Amino acid sequence: MMNLSMIGIASSFFMVFCGLWSFISYHKHLLNSLLSLEFMMLGVFWLLSMQTAGVGSEIYFSLFFLTLAACEGALGLSLLVFVVRSHGNDRFMSFNLLEC
């Protein structure tokens, strides 16, 4: 019988692989890509918190990781706002590489 920690580890790997699949499949809009990256980061955070829960008092590393993931999300949203203001939409096909 599987214990609860194995189910948590399996669900975190499932979250990471679903995020990777959505990142590869739905790459037409920048917002879809950012959401799938955040979903992968949440899966990695869940795996990290499940692994450090067995060690004991090593919760500070997972809080540091969560802080970096929040900063990454804020940076992605600011880039999304900049792209929508400059190009009018967030589709990757409308970006011109020659435009400054």
Q: Is the pLDDT of residue 100 over 70?
A: no
pLDDT for 18 beyond 90 = yes
pLDDT for position 78 = 93
Which domains, and CATH codes, for the chain? 4-94 (1.10.287.3510)
Which residue is associated with the tokens 């189910």? 7
Q: 63 is written with which tokens?
A: 């809080």
Confidence band, pLDDT 50/70/90 cuts, at residue 50: confident
Hey, what are 34's tokens?
């950012």
Residue 45 belongs to what H/E stretch?
Answer: helix 30-53
Question: Could you give the angle at the alpha carbon of 23 between the alpha carbons of 62 and 42, nearest 5°?
Answer: 15
